[in-house]
């Protein structure tokens, strides 16, 4: 992703309701878990932030998450906050991000896996068309190896 000093992506233009398909990987070489998913994108706090609220399920249990993205012209020390009933263990995960020329937002955070060094977590938000929304998440091992973790692909719902 080309370096950019802007965080503003096209996410704010994606306001509305979405439905789609979610894929979850626990680790390389293990079967992917698939389910349906729904999401709502909204402008918050007079357009200063964009929220993405989503639902999905695993093993018959419902889960939900929230991404809150700063909608700002400059990258800041904290550009995205994420919580998820499955992934974040009751904690806020904080990210620094940037937007590329196509409007995709890529944000990088980290989390602890004692006793190993910190692991990275990258979230990429974007779309190829106005009626599509993609949420991609990657685990980044301490040695820099990147593994897919979540792939959610949405289509805009009518109404």
117 phi and psi angles, rounded to 5 deg:
-65, 170
Average pLDDT, the chain: 91
Q: Does some domain include residue 117?
A: yes
Does pTM surpass 0.85? Answer: yes
Q: Look at residue 29 in the predicted model and tell me its pLDDT.
A: 85
Give a yes or no: residue 1 inside a domain: no
Distance CA 90, CA 76 (A): 24
Q: Is residue 5 part of a domain?
A: no
- Three-state DSSP class for 133? strand
Question: What is residue 112's predicted lDDT score, i.e. its pLDDT?
Answer: 92
- Is residue 71 situated within a structural domain? yes
Helix (H), strand (E), coil (C) string for 83-109: EECCCCCCCCEEEEEEECCCCCEEEEE
The angle at the Cα of 83, spanning 80 to 84, to the nearest 5 degrees, equals 135
Name the band, by pLDDT with cuts 50, 70 and 90, for residue 83: very high
Please check the confidence at residue 7 and state whether its pLDDT lies above 50: yes
Query: What is the span of the domain harbouring residue 51?
Result: 11-156
- 138, part of any domain: yes
Which of 104, 113, 108, 122 has its CA nearest to residue 142? 113
Determine, yes or no, domain membership for 3.
no
How would residue 6 be classed by pLDDT, with cut points 50, 70 and 90?
low
| Total number of domains constituting the chain | 1
In a domain, 84, yes or no: yes
Flag whether 4 is in a domain.
no
CATH number at residue 45: 2.40.128.20
Contact in structure between 120 and 95 (CB atoms under 8 Å): no
Specify the residue for token string 């995709």: 104
The residue count for the chain: 159
Six token digits for residue 110 = 């980290």
């Amino acid at each position: 992703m080309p370096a950019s000093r802007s965080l503003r992506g096209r996410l704010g233009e994606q306001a509305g309701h979405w439905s789609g398909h979610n894929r979850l990987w626990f680790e390389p070489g293990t079967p992917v878990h698939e389910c349906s998913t729904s999401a709502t994108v909204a402008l918050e706090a007079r357009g200063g932030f964009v929220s993405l609220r989503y639902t999905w399920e695993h093993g018959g249990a419902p889960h939900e998450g929230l991404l809150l993205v700063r909608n700002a012209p400059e990258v800041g020390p904290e550009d995205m906050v994420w919580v998820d009933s499955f992934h974040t263990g009751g904690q806020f995960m904080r990210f620094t991000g940037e937007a590329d020329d196509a409007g995709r937002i890529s944000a990088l955070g980290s989390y602890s896996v004692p006793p190993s060094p910190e692991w990275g977590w990258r979230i990429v938000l974007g779309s190829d068309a106005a009626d599509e929304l993609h949420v991609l998440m990657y685990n980044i091992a301490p040695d820099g190896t990147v593994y897919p973790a979540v792939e959610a692909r949405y289509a805009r719902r009518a109404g």
